[in-house]
């Protein structure tokens, strides 16, 4: 059957070249047109079956929710107040230039490069202020009512201290309220800094008001613990499967922010998030890399040209591969419709394998023509004889790929289908087009009376023959090296950390780590959907108790609790008792104080309560203020000790900024402030009084706003941009809960710990790290089975092809031994298995099998005692196929993208190892079993 | 059956033999009836109880950020821990910090050496974790197990190489906040070797205490290593006793909160 088909192809190439051309053109047009509809889906979810709950959840979130964590602008610099301003400017700039309203046509926005739907640089400050008391737990509302009842500087500080002492007396209290404690300490830090400046007479405009804001409503920005970084999260109208536009979004953001970066040279305005990492990754393939690749392909072409003594023949050999790839893409488009992250590499694989088919046939053709055979005879020998080996090799490789379709993992299944089909389609393209093209070229050469001359490879033949004579040594060494390779290969581990596959020093990745360092939180959340806001609240509460969870961000943060009624007495009490219009307490001079007391109505008179501070002299006020600052110091020191043992690093860090560490307490800003106040002559009291007035006013305005409403906050009351973060686009697919890990989940141990913790609360927590882990585990599990099944299938096909177990085993040897050596080398070179270098494996399997099959076929054709002739003939093609792969893909080793570099390395080493075994161990064994192979022909 | 006949045994004799074995096994079981749970718990209280003790220990905890932190502390206790005082000796950040518990953990005070302040914690704190460890205040509180729990005998099982009574215990109104615990108590020395803790109606334990390195100190058997593992969070706290002295003379005044700063 195989021979008849090959003979028919020879006839077609020799006599019906126009028909061949016509069929090729039609097929290429049809399948080329089909391939135009092929879509790229490089999402992780496209690799895994949706039957897995976390995959289903990932897809649901991806489709129905916005994900602002995909693109983040981080601005960092020395002055925290200035950072607020720059953050506002960034938000305003992006809103003005890149925002696409919810009612606008996304396609129009896309055309105008307005890719952003929402920009989150700041909380809706006014809204939070109005509803703060209705959003808090009853106990927190009670605390706030007690804290804010007197906005004057001294009483406010006293009440703040009372609250800290009451609330944070034990480590568990600090742990359970870590984000709130951090926010409070952050506000205290701003207050202390402002007070310090006021005391020394250097007031900054708006500083007192900012301190009042932070201590009451909270800082509305996403600031780092050290106050040196602020984040702006960007939600896009572009969906995560639109891989073409995603890099453009990041590029446009960068372009729009460039003028701001120039305006503030002391500040860094940078981007991170998965989208920015993706673009940086693409940009890492710079001009130098492209030149290297180009040079490698020029070198490859020159080697082929040298081999064929022609510049056209290599082009002729490559042409059917290009056609074969086009046909393959067309078939994939018709059957699957999409390419995923794994199948996107199909072109690389087909180029690597397809060129081998061409070289073997073209080489034999050139060899036979050079030997003086007619075109028809040369075609027959190259296609019908050498073609047999090519077909066997291709079938073996294709079936090996098809075994991957046994996998449950969608990505692996599709990879099996695409690669297997691709190999067969490319084989058909080569066998269909190449003979016709070769015949046409040969006819033209005949007319011009040119005799093709091939390169002389007789030295290679002599070398292989010589090696085969020393069979004992070669076999012992070969077997030993193979065993060592297998043993070393078992020690190879899997690279779970995908960042290790990215280029080294990528800024967007370094920035992700910097965010973890500065915030003690990862910006890449685990996610799940809750059925209702109340379920979301329960999940948040349970998640927060988990050690690996740093914070939880969900819609319930913006909604009143079901027990909101319990807040009302505290809100009413604050409304009734807050002394918002009291005369500011003077710290400046006694006379002024007394004059004020006479001129103004008694403090607190409007509420009918007594003012405990009214009767204090200025000296007493100053002394009490100093005492309260010292008390504040003591409270922060105690909170630091409580959080130290429990490892609440964010709290420890924040406390350290206020009170330093135990060994150098005197250096702490709060201690220094206390010391300054202990010497009243060092204080500019009139400036401090000015600060106190502004602070009091700032607090009073906000408290007044807080108590205006007694209504609970419902979903409809949440500002639209905030609601969009948590409520699905349709409004029917639940509520998004973001679970922020304490660190980036790059490593398997962290991924598993985080998953174990969050899954004990809810089994559907998903996210990019979870998908990566799922994929790694599934690939490792199914990869092992696939390799074993593929090896068995290859062996079975070889048995069918050669019809003798000995021959089949010998043909299998270069693959088995070559791969073992490759695994051993990977171990010695410190390589790990990863997604990228796994792509190299099919190519190596294909070439390894080809090497064995071609060598044995040719040796059997040549006959007993003609090892040298066989090696000279087929060795040339094998050397060429291996060299082209090693040079072409080996150039990837120079890529900055470490995943690519590792793929290049594995391909280079693997193909070289297979070739080495084919030229050494295989001939030695063939020689050893020569009599059995040829049945004692002598 | 053919084999039985070949061995010369009739069906009747087989049935007779099996019947006798069952009867003997039943009698054996009846004669090895386990002691009452109350008796086991009282024996346990006696074995683990003491009049007074002074100890030095290391506590290795897993922090929220996943790091291990070693704390060194010393402690004084009387009446089986009904009153106990601990002082942290290292690391430097918490050196001198003291914790006083009296009345079975109903009263807890914390003293900070830097601020020289003593703070009383509310009694609701009993079920909270101590200083970031996996032990709660009520785990560390003293008192008698026989007064805190009642329960049923489950089985006898080996734990840490020693045969143990396995008891399922539920807290009395005076007892701790867990739903239940399952305790492995040595049949010979009545030392608790393992405790599984259950809460929130869970069917699986959420944390587990393992007592190891049980050696004699004076007249008493003492576990020198106790590991509390949070099975959900995958954290653990290891308490290693480096020194223990029973019967030490401890003035009652050190268990008064006002004296903590001395």
Residues of B in contact with A516 (CB under 8 A): none
Q: Residue B71: is it exposed, middle or buried by C-beta count within 10 angstroms (0-12/13-18/19+)?
A: buried
Q: What is the pTM of this model?
A: 0.77
Reported ipTM: 0.76
Mean pLDDT of A758-762: 88
Cα gap A253→A837, rounded to integer Å? 33
First-residue to last-residue Cα distance in chain A = 32
**CA gap A400, A353 in Å, rounded:** 14
Q: Give the pLDDT of residue A589.
A: 67
pLDDT level of residue A624 (50, 70, 90 thresholds): very high
Task: Report the relative pairing of strands B207-217 and B52-62 from DSSP bridges.
Answer: unpaired
And the tokens for A186? 């952050």
| Dihedral over alpha carbons A870, A875, A878, A882 (to 10 degrees) | 160
pLDDT tens digits along A789-817: 888 888 888 888 888 889 899 999 889 99
Average pLDDT of the residues in A704-717:
94
Beta strands A39-40; A338-339: pairing state: parallel
Whether residues A547 and B133 touch (CB distance < 8 A) is answered with no
Across the interface, do A647 and B112 touch by the CB < 8 Å criterion? no
Q: Which pLDDT score is estimated for A612? A: 75
CB contact under 8 A, B232 and A647: no
DSSP string, A402-426: HGGGG-SSHHHHHHHHHHHHHHHHH
In the beta sheet, which residues pair with residue A527?
Answer: A738, A766
Residues from chain A contacting residue B64 (CB–CB below 8 Å): 175, 547, 646-649, 742
Q: Which of residues 160-189 of A touch B (CB under 8 A)?
A: 165, 169-173, 175
Question: What are the pLDDT digits (tens) for A452-494?
Answer: 555 667 888 889 889 988 889 999 999 999 999 999 988 988 8
pLDDT above 70 as % of chain A: 94
| Per-residue confidence (pLDDT) for residue A646, from 0 to 100 | 66
pLDDT tens figures, A229-243:
999 999 999 988 787
Q: Tell me the mean pLDDT in the region B198-215.
A: 91
Does residue A598 have a pLDDT over 60?
no
Model confidence at A286: pLDDT above 70: no
Paired residues of A552 in beta bridges: A739
pLDDT (0 to 100) of residue A450: 59
- The answer to whether the Cβ–Cβ distance between B132 and A171 falls below 8 Å is yes
Q: Name the residue among A880, A888, A896 with its Cα closest to residue A313.
A: A880
Alpha-carbon torsion angle A675, A681, A685, A688, nearest 10: -20
Q: At what angle do helices A805-828 and A471-490 cross, to 10 degrees?
A: 60
Nearest CA in chain B to A759: B232
Chain B CB contacts of A165 below 8 Å = 119
Q: What is the predicted pLDDT for the residue at A937? A: 47
Block residue for tokens 């007592």: B211
Arithmetic mean of pLDDT, A758-783:
83
pLDDT band at A430 (very low <50, low <70, confident <90, very high): very high
Between chains, do B67 and A661 touch, taking CB under 8 Å as contact?
no
Contacts of B63 in chain A (CB under 8 A): 645-647, 649
| Mean of pLDDT values over B35-64 | 91
Which residues 81-110 in chain B show a CB within 8 A of chain A?
92-95, 97, 110
Determine the pLDDT at residue B31. 44
Chain A residues within 8 A of B129 when measuring between CB atoms = 171-172, 175, 646
Out of A638, A642, A646, the one facing B64 most closely (by C-beta) is: A646
- Scanning the structure block, which residue is given the tokens 């290292």? B90
How much is the average pLDDT of A878-893?
83
B92 contacts in A (CB within 8 Å)?
662-663
List, in sequence order, the alpha helices (H) in A312-409. 312-335, 346-370, 375-379, 387-402
Nearest to A319 by CA among A442, A443, A432: A432
What is the pLDDT averaged over residues A401-408?
81
Which burial class, exposed, middle or buried, applies to A655 when counting CB atoms under 10 A from its CB (0-12, 13-18, 19+)?
Answer: buried
Q: Is the pLDDT of residue B123 over 60?
A: yes
pLDDT over threshold 60, residue B3? no
Q: How far is CA A636 from the centre of its chain?
A: 39
B68 touches chain A (CB under 8 A): no
For the segment A867-877, what is each residue's pLDDT rounded down to a tens digit?
888 888 888 88
Could you tell me if A548 lies within 8 Å of chain B, comparing CB atoms? yes
Convert A911-931 to b/e letters by CB count within 10 Å (16 or more is b): bbbbbbbbbbbbbbbbbbebe
Cα separation, A659 vs A654, in Å, equals 9
* pLDDT tens sequence across B144-175: 899 999 999 999 999 999 999 999 999 998 88
For residue A467, the number of C-alpha atoms closer than 13 Å in the C-beta half-sphere is: 22
Pairwise CB contact (< 8 Å): A646 & B235: no
Residues of chain A contacting B71 with CB distance shorter than 8 Å:
645
Q: Please give the residue that has the higher pLDDT: either A566 or A370.
A: A566
Q: Are B129 and A171 an interchain contact pair (Cβ–Cβ within 8 Å)? A: yes
Query: In whole angstroms, what is the distance from residue A839 CA to residue A352 CA?
Result: 11
Residue A133: C-alpha distances to residues A597, A799, B128 (Å): 33, 79, 27
Per DSSP, A766 falls in state: B
Question: 10 Å Cβ neighbour count for A52?
Answer: 18
The mean per-residue pLDDT over the stretch A304-312 comes to 83
pLDDT at A601 over 80: no
Q: Which of A194-203, A698-707, A745-754 has the lowest mean pLDDT?
A: A745-754
Chain A, nearest residue to B130 by Cα: A171
Residue A474: predicted pLDDT? 92
Q: Tell me what the pLDDT averaged over chain A comes to.
A: 87
Token output for A570: 């505290």
- Name the least confident of A109-123, A623-637, B131-145: B131-145
Residue B45 clears pLDDT 80, i.e. is over it = yes
- Residue A723 pLDDT level (bands cut at 50, 70, 90): very high
Interface of A with B in 362-391 (CB under 8 A): none
Cβ distance B119 to A165 less than 8 Å, yes or no, reads yes
What sign does the dihedral B24-B27-B32-B38 (CA atoms) show? positive
Task: Say yes or no for a CB contact (<8 Å) between A173 and B62.
Answer: no
Out of B71, B115, B133, closest to residue A637 by CB:
B115
Whether A749 has its CB under 8 Å from any CB of chain B: the answer is no
**Which of B64, B67, B118, B231 to mutate to test binding with chain A, by most A CBs within 10 Å of its CB?**
B64
* Rounded CA separation A91/A235 (Å): 12
Q: How confident is the model at residue A905 (pLDDT cuts 50, 70, 90)?
A: very high
pLDDT, residue A938, reads 44
CB contact under 8 A, A646 and B129: yes
Task: Please name the residues in contact with B147: beta carbons below 8 A apart, sequence gap of 6 or more.
Answer: B172, B174, B175
d(CA A492, CA A910): 15
Contacts of B62 in chain A (CB under 8 A): 547, 647
The answer to whether the Cβ–Cβ distance between B64 and A663 falls below 8 Å is no
* pLDDT over 60 (residue B132): yes
Residue A586 binned pLDDT confidence (cut-offs 50, 70, 90):
confident
Q: What pLDDT is stored for residue A228 in this prediction? A: 92
Contact assessment for residue B25 and residue B32, using Cβ atoms and an 8 Å cutoff: no
- Predicted confidence at residue A592, as pLDDT, reads 52
Mean pLDDT is highest, among A154-163, A546-555, B12-21, B197-206, for A154-163
């Amino acid at each position: 059957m195989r021979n008849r088909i090959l003979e028919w192809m020879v006839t077609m190439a020799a006599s019906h070249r126009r028909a061949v051309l016509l069929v090729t053109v039609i097929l290429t047009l049809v399948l080329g047109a089909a391939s135009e509809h092929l879509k790229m889906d490089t999402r992780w979810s496209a690799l895994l079956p949706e039957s897995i709950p976390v995959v289903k959840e990932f897809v649901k979130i991806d489709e129905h929710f916005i994900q602002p964590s995909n693109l983040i602008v981080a601005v960092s610099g020395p002055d925290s107040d200035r950072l607020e301003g720059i953050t506002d400017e960034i938000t305003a700039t992006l809103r003005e230039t890149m925002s696409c309203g919810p009612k606008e046509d996304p396609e129009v926005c896309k055309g105008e490069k307005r890719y952003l739907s929402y920009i989150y640089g700041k909380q809706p400050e006014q809204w939070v202020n109005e509803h703060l008391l209705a959003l808090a737990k009853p106990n927190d509302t009670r605390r706030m009512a007690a804290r804010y009842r007197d906005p004057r500087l001294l009483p406010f500080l006293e009440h703040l201290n009372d609250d800290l002492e009451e609330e944070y007396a034990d480590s568990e209290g600090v742990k359970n309220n870590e984000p709130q404690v951090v926010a409070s300490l952050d506000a205290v830090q701003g207050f202390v800094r402002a007070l310090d400046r006021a005391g020394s007479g250097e007031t900054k405009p708006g500083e007192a008001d900012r301190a009042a804001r932070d201590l009451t409503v909270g800082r509305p920005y996403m600031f780092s613990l050290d106050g040196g970084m602020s984040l702006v999260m960007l939600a896009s109208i572009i969906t995560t499967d639109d891989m073409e536009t995603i890099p453009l979004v990041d590029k446009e953001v960068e372009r729009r922010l460039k003028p701001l970066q120039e305006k503030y040279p002391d500040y860094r305005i940078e981007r991170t998030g998965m989208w920015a990492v993706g673009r940086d990754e693409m940009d890492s393939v710079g001009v130098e890399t492209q030149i290297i690749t180009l040079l490698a392909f020029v070198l490859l072409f020159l080697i082929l040209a040298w081999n064929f003594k022609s510049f056209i023949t290599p082009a002729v050999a490559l042409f059917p591969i290009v056609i074969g790839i086009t046909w393959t893409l067309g078939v994939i488009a018709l059957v699957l419709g999409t390419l995923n992250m794994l199948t996107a590499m199909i072109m690389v694989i087909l180029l690597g394998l397809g060129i081998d088919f061409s070289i073997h046939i073209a080489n034999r053709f050139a060899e036979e023509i050079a030997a003086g055979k007619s075109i028809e005879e040369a075609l027959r020998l190259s296609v019908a004889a050498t073609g047999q080996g090519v077909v066997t090799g291709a079938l073996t490789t294709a079936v090996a790929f098809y075994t991957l379709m046994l996998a449950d993992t969608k990505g692996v299944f599709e990879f099996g289908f695409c690669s297997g089909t691709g190999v067969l389609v490319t084989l058909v393209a080569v066998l269909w087009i190449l003979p016709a093209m070769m015949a046409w070229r040969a006819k033209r050469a005949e007319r011009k009376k040119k005799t093709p001359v091939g390169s002389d490879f007789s030295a290679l033949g002599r070398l292989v023959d010589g090696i085969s004579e020393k069979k004992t040594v070669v076999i012992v060494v070969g077997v030993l090296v193979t065993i060592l390779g297998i043993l070393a290969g078992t020690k190879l581990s899997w690279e779970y950390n995908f960042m290790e596959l990215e280029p080294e020093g990528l800024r967007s990745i370094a920035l992700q780590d910097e965010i973890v360092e500065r915030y003690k939180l990862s910006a890449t959340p685990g996610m799940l959907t809750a059925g209702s806001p109340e379920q979301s609240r329960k999940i948040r509460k349970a998640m927060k108790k988990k050690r690996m969870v740093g914070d939880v961000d969900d819609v319930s943060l913006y909604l009143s609790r079901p027990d909101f009624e319990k807040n009302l007495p505290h809100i009413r009490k604050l409304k009734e008792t807050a002394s918002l219009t009291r005369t500011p307490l003077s710290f400046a001079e006694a006379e002024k104080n007394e004059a004020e007391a006479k001129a103004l109505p008694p403090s607190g008179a409007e509420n009918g309560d007594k003012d405990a501070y009214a009767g204090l002299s200025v000296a007493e006020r100053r002394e009490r203020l100093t005492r309260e600052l010292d008390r504040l110091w003591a409270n922060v020191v105690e909170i630091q000790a409580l959080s130290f043992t429990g490892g609440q690093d964010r709290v420890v860090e924040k406390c350290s900024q206020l009170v330093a560490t135990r060994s150098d307490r005197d250096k702490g800003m709060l201690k220094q402030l206390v010391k300054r106040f202990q010497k009243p002559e060092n204080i500019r009291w009139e400036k401090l009084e000015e600060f106190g007035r502004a602070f009091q006013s700032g607090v009073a305005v906000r408290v007044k706003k807080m108590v205006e409403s007694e209504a609970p906050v419902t979903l409809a009351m949440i500002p639209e941009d905030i609601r969009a973060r948590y409520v699905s686009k349709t409004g029917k697919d639940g509520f998004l809960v973001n679970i922020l890990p304490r660190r980036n989940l790059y490593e398997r141990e962290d991924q598993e710990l985080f998953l174990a913790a969050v899954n004990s609360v809810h089994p559907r927590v998903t996210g990019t790290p979870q998908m990566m882990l799922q994929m790694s585990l599934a690939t490792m599990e199914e990869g092992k089975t696939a390799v074993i099944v593929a090896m068995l299938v290859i062996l079975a096909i070889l048995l069918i092809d050669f019809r003798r177990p000995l021959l089949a085993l010998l043909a299998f040897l270069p693959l088995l031994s070559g791969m073992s050596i490759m695994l051993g080398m990977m171990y010695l070179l410190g390589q790990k298995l990863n997604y990228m270098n796994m792509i190299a494996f099919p190519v190596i399997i294909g070439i390894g099998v080809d090497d064995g099959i071609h060598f044995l076929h040719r040796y059997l054709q040549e006959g007993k005692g003609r090892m040298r002739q066989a090696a000279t003939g087929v060795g040339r093609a094998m050397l060429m196929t291996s060299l082209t792969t090693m040079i072409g893909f080996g150039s990837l080793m120079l890529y900055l993208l470490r995943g690519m570099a590792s793929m290049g390395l594995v391909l280079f080493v693997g193909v070289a190892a297979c070739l080495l075994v084919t030229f050494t161990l295989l001939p030695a064994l063939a020689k050893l079993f020569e009599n059995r192979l040829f049945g004692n022909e002598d | 059956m053919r084999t039985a006949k070949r061995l010369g045994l009739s069906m009747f004799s087989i049935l007779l033999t099996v019947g006798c074995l069952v009867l003997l096994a039943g009698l054996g079981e009846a004669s090895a009836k386990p002691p009452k749970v109350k008796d086991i718990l009282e024996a346990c209280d006696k074995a683990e109880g003491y009049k007074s003790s002074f100890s030095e220990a290391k506590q290795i905890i897993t922090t929220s950020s996943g790091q291990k932190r070693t704390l060194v502390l010393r402690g004084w206790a009387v009446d089986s821990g009904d009153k106990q005082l601990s002082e942290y000796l290292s690391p430097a950040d918490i050196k001198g910090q003291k914790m006083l518990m009296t009345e079975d953990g109903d009263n807890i005070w914390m003293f900070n050496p830097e601020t020289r302040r003593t703070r009383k914690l509310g009694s609701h704190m009993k079920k909270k974790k101590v200083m970031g460890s996996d032990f709660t205040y009520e785990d560390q509180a003293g008192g008698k197990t026989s007064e805190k729990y009642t329960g049923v005998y489950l089985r006898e099982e080996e734990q840490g190489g020693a045969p143990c009574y396995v008891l399922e215990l539920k807290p009395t109104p005076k007892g701790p906040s867990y739903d239940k615990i399952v305790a492995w108590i040595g049949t010979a020395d009545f030392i608790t070797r393992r405790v599984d803790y259950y809460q929130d109606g869970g069917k699986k334990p959420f944390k587990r205490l393992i007592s190891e390195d049980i050696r004699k100190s004076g007249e008493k058997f003492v576990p020198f290593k106790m590991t509390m593992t949070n099975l959900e969070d995958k954290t653990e706290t290891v308490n290693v006793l480096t020194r223990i002295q029973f019967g030490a003379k401890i003035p009652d005044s050190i268990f008064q909160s006002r004296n903590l700063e001395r």
